[in-house]
Amino acid sequence: MQLYTWPTSPFGAKVWAVAIATGLNTSIIKVPYHPWEADPELSKLNPLNKIPVLITPNGEALYDSPVICEYLIEQAGMDELLENKWCNLRQQALADGIMDAGVLTRYETHFRPSQLQCKDWLNRQLNAINRSLDVLNQEKLNDRLDMGTISIATAIAYLDLRKVCDWQEHRQQLASWYNNISSHPALVQSRPTDYPLPENLIKLKE
């Protein structure tokens, strides 16, 4: 299988953590692909032009990340990652929303000239992140890997990578849960990491 992804992508990182947790990572080749490339290759696979995209052994292109994760879990027969399914899927949705708001914040603050940035819109993203983190801080989160905890830990790793906000402040329960779970090898090996933009995209920042 092939996974189109990029090292900074939290959604790609989540899929990779699931791939490691299911043992299917050894059957997947990562194809580094920045979604802002003008090359139409990605949009032929996913008309939304977003990563991650998984190419299955029969050549089918799967997106988006929850669909890919569920596919990997089913292929590996690892239902335990989705035990208490609705809680897991809700937690994944919340974590994905944090990732969405974090990625949009990054795009706005990093790629858009400061005089064009919209403060209200940035605050809206930050408020969504903060409300979601407050909810997670009240929850008794699992200490083992499952679809919910992988998603939440990856979302937090992305907030750290891009320094989106001081998420630990006043959230002691969530911080101590994260400090514990983030040392799991699947999360260490999949963590989103900084990576230079492809050369042809650097002009976007100018």
* CA distances from residue 63 to 15, 41, 43, 60, 173 in whole angstroms, order as listed: 11, 15, 12, 10, 33
Q: Pairing relation of β-strands 53-55 and 2-5?
A: antiparallel
Residue type, 130: N
Q: Is 102 in the site for ligand GSH (CB under 6 A)?
A: no
Q: Is 124 in the site for ligand GSH (CB under 6 A)?
A: no
Among 19, 82, 103, 133, binds ligand GSH (CB under 6 A): 103
Place of tokens 């997947």: 28
Give the residue at shortest CB distance from ligand GSH. 64
Which runs of E-coded beta strand occur in 33-166? 53-55, 61-62
Q: Is 35 in the site for ligand GSH (CB under 6 A)?
A: yes
CB closer to ligand GSH, 99 vs 186: 99
Q: Is 96 in the site for ligand GSH (CB under 6 A)?
A: yes
Tell me how crowded residue 201 is: count the other CB atoms within 10 A of its CB. Answer: 14
CB closer to ligand GSH, 71 vs 171: 71
- Shortest separation between residue 32's beta carbon and ligand GSH, angstroms: 12
Q: Which of these segments, 17-25, 59-67, 87-95, 143-151, binds ligand GSH (CB under 6 A)?
A: 59-67
CB closer to ligand GSH, 7 vs 137: 7
Label residue 114 exposed, middle or buried (CB < 10 Å: 0-12, 13-18, 19+): exposed
Q: Is 37 in the site for ligand GSH (CB under 6 A)?
A: no
Q: Pairing relation of β-strands 61-62 and 2-5?
A: unpaired
